[in-house]
Chains A and B, each alone.
Chain A
Amino acid sequence: MQMNMVSAINNALELILKENDKALLLGEDIGKDGGVFRVTEGLLDKFGEKRVMDTPLAESGIIGTAIGMSLAGLHPIAEIQFAGFMYLGYSQLINHAARYRTRTRSTFKVPMIVRTPVSGGVRTLEHHSESPEAAYVNMGGLLVVEPSNPYDAKGLLIKASRMDDPVLFLEPTKLYRLFKQEVPENAYEVEIGKANIVKEGTDFTIITYGTMVNVVQSVVEKRKLNAEIIDIRTINPLDIDTIITSAKKTGKVIIVHEEQKSFGIGAEISARIAEDAIYELQAPIIRIGAESFPYPFPGYEKYYVPNEVKISKAIDKLLSS
């Protein structure tokens, strides 16, 4: 069935609620309104207020109570309306969701999912376009995934709901309705911690995820490049083996993400490659990311978010070195 990312996630949530009676959804405006992006549309009618709960407007409250629910045997799936507002719940995610299992040596578990829209490119007001993934991965304990297409979104979400871990599920706003794809109607899993080789190639490797995957694909297709494209899909844990294998194979690597270049996920990927494959590289690693300052107002975002031109020029530089 043809689905965009919104319908694929909606479909996944419906299947999860059907399959797992411990699962419930909570968040702001997710009931009658169906969420500000309509991701949960129709689910209140199908499952009732008990399983699809509108909450008071408080991010720490949503994440903190979800942690409590999961400690007591439920599998809550919380929606935070925008990633820019989630910092109010950051303490709960980092101090508790991420730590509870290990600080109790697996005696207590926190099976829960926090879904939130990320990244920009859709001309929203300020605080609605951030790509904050790096802020959630450098303490460990949270699984962080970010799909780039409807198929992966559904499979990753279903997989997350069947795991005993806290999973931060980042949904790129721009991709919600950008394109449709054939998505199976039944439940299926996409493995968490496993990268996807979107396209095989031998000249160089582009490592990317989220909003940048289709931008990279477009450049590669237009220029008919023999590039290997890797969509990491899971940010924590990184599929380092797939990354290193490709880096060794092609000897040239570009990392492309929408979040800031400075201190971004690309820094970790680049350091891993340097540690394990530097003697097999034929050129310095190039990182492409947003400029190193806070996300601008919508009028300026085209100067901020990496685009095809920026990626194409970086490829020229890589291939000529």
Chain B
Amino acid sequence: MFSEAFDGKVDYLQVMDEKGNVDQQFFPKDVDDNTVIAMYKNMMFTRAFDNKVLSLQRQGRTSTFAPSFGEEATHIGSAMAMRKDDIFVPAFRQTGVYYARKMPMDLYLLYWIGYEDSNKIPKEVNGFPMAVPVATQLPHSVGIAFAQKYQGRDAAVVVYVGDGGTSEGDFSEALNFAGVWKTPLVIIIENNQWAISMPREKQSAAKTLAQKAFAAGINCIQVDGNDVMAVYKATKDAIENSKNGPTVIECVTYRMGMHTTSDDPTKYRTDEETEKWKLKDPILRVKMYLTAKGIWNDDLEKKTIEEQSKELDDIVQKAEAFKPDPEGMFNTVYSFVPEVLKKEFDEAKASNYWQ
């Protein structure tokens, strides 16, 4: 008398396999060699940024940091599929998205160093600040997408959430609203298999996370999240279709590193598992593809590493030269400065609390 829990098929897309072989049927038509090289360089940069900031964090030069190791294809594939006016709404582990969308990275680094001034995101980036409370950014993304349609703008919104985030009430509420309002929204579930120490299979009894879209009347797909081309293709198609409503894309990837610098993954998962995923590295397969095509070699690789290393040094130098302005804390809370805040500021300044 009861229907069984959904056990059917959610389509799965892989365009480029672990060895760099591509399925021509699904290879995105608008991607030329230069685009693949740009994807590769963006992913390389994302990883180099992670390594750099990890080292800064270990020296006490940043606060807690959430690296993206292993998830570069999900970031770069989706970000590069966005059109100029499309908007992204991140969670807190989307370094590659910010980079590919031309966020000034010294400004981005300021977030991890610990200054709100980081969130003065330039308009042309078309992106929003990170959201730390898990999944709370999803209802925002629905409202932002709603506002695009409402105001007659031809822009889609791409929002990111992790596997753990799909358990939150805000995830379900957001999907439900997006379905009813048919908002131009692409929901990327960045399923990296681990929510801090909680493995994917303990997060939900659902066979896929993508299928959570069905209950909200939304189309979905699962893609190889370590395949930049699959992520690109799915995001591009979802954006093209966004006038008709939202799409859920589950990117199946793997968090190669820690949740943040505050935890040690060896406590809760095996090396064996991590080793297995190393073979599916999202960056390596693109290198194999480019090398096989004869458009990449060791010299270009070396040159890119050097360029990015210099770029990173500049970013760190600029970010660390930042001088905080405590007055900004007081005069940006409201559209005006209430008496209470004025007095607190004046007292702090006059009494020289901030030597």
Q: Do A and B bind each other?
A: yes
> What band does the interface of chain B fall in when counting residues whose beta carbon is under 8 Å from A?
35 or more
- B93-137 contacts to A (CB < 8 Å): 116-117, 119-121, 128-129, 131, 133, 136
Let me know if A68 and B150 touch, CB within 8 A: no
Stretch at the interface among A115-123, A173-181, A235-243, A309-317: A235-243
Give the most central of A66, A68, A193: most B CB within 10 Å. Answer: A68
- Are B143 and A103 within 8 A (Cβ)? no
User: In the docked arrangement, what's the CA distance between A185 and B207, Å?
Assistant: 59
A263 to B179, CA, bound (A): 41
**Complex contacts, A88 vs chain B, CB 8 Å:** 169
Please tell me which one of the listed residues B128, B329, B334 contacts residue A71 in the complex, with CB atoms under 8 A apart: B128
- Verify B333–A64 contact, CB threshold 8 A: no
Known contacts A103-B116, A103-B129, A105-B117; A73/B335 CB under 8 A = no
Map CB proximity to B onto A73-115 as digits: 1 under 8 Å, 0 otherwise: 1101000000000001001100110000111111111000000
B contact residues around A106 at 8 Å (CB): 332
CA distance A74 to B145 in the complex (A): 12
Contact B339 A69 (CB under 8 A): no
Q: Are B143 and A67 within 8 A (Cβ)?
A: yes
Contact bitstring B147-172, A, C-beta under 8 A = 1, else 0: 11011000000000000000001100
Contact (Cβ within 8 A) B338 A108:
no
Interface contact A68-B333, CB-CB below 8 Å = no
Contacts of B169 in A (CB 8 A): 60, 88
Choose among B129, B139, B145, B329 the residue that contacts A64 (Cβ–Cβ < 8 A).
Answer: B139
B305-355 residues at the A interface, CB under 8 angstroms:
328-329, 332-336, 338-341
B260 interface residue per 8 A CB criterion: no
Does B133 lie within 8 Å of A193, measured CB to CB?
no
- B142 CB–A CB distance under 8 Å: yes
> Which of B120, B176, B336, B338 contacts A58, CB < 8 Å?
B176
Please indicate the chain B residues that have their CB under 8 angstroms from the CB of A63 in the complex.
139
* Chain A: minimal CB distance from B171 (Å): 11
Whether the pair A96, B136 counts as a contact (CB closer than 8 A) is yes
CB distance from B115 to the nearest CB of A (A): 9
Partner of B143, one of A66, A101, A107, A109: A66
Q: Nearest CB to that of B175 among chain A residues?
A: A61
Interface-central residue, A65, A103, A164, by most chain B CB under 10 Å: A65
Q: A282 at interface (Cβ–Cβ under 8 A)? A: no
Would B116 and A104 count as touching, CB distance under 8 A? yes
B residues less than 8 Å from A72 (CB atoms): 87, 143-144, 146-148, 151
Task: Please report the C-alpha to C-alpha distance between residue A75 and residue B245 in the assembled complex, in whole angstroms.
Answer: 23
The contact string, 1 if C-beta is below 8 Å from chain B, for chain A 159-190, is 00001110000000000000000000000000
Q: Mark B66-85, 1 if CB is under 8 A from A, else 0.
A: 00000000000000000000
Interchain CB contact (< 8 A) of B332 among A50, A66, A96, A105: A105
How many Cβ-Cβ contacts under 8 Å join chain A to chain B?
136
Asked if B180 is at the interface of the complex by the 8 Å CB criterion, the answer is: yes
- Contact (Cβ within 8 A) A60 B333: no
Q: Tell me which residues across on chain B come within 8 A of A141, comparing CB atoms.
A: 333-334
A68–B332 touching, CB < 8 Å: no
CA distance A133 to B336 in the complex (A): 21
> For the complex, what is the distance from the CA of A107 to the CA of B173, rounded to whole Å?
27
Within 8 A of B (CB), among A176-223: 193
Question: Which of A61, A71, A143, A237 is the most central at the interface, judged by chain B CB atoms within 10 Å of its CB?
Answer: A61
Q: Does B140 contact A (CB under 8 A)?
A: yes
User: Distance in Å from the Cβ of B334 to the closest Cβ of chain A?
Assistant: 5
CB of A25 to closest CB in B, whole Å:
13
A307 within 8 A of B: no
Q: Residue of A at shortest CB range from B176?
A: A56
Q: Is the CB of B335 within 8 A of A163?
A: yes
Interface assignment of A250: CB less than 8 Å from any CB of chain B? no
- The answer to whether B141 has its CB under 8 Å from any CB of chain A is yes
**Is the CB–CB distance between B332 and A101 below 8 Å?**
yes
B141: nearest chain-A partner, CB-CB: A68
User: Which B residue sits closest to A272, measured CB to CB?
Assistant: B340
Docked-complex contact B334 and A165, CB < 8 angstroms? yes
B27 touches A (CB below 8 Å): no
Who on chain B is nearest to A94 by CB?
Answer: B133
Q: In whole angstroms, how far apart are the Cα atoms of A104 and B115 in the complex?
A: 10
Chain B CB within 8 A of A140 CB: yes
Chain B residues in 8 Å Cβ range of A237: 334, 338-341
- What are the nearest 5 A-B pairs in CB distance? A68-B143, A64-B139, A72-B147, A61-B173, A237-B338
CB pairs A–B below 8 angstroms (6 shown): A64-B140, A69-B147, A70-B143, A103-B129, A237-B339, A240-B339
Given A64-B173, A92-B170, 5 new contacts (CB under 8 A): A68-B142, A102-B116, A107-B119, A109-B335, A237-B341
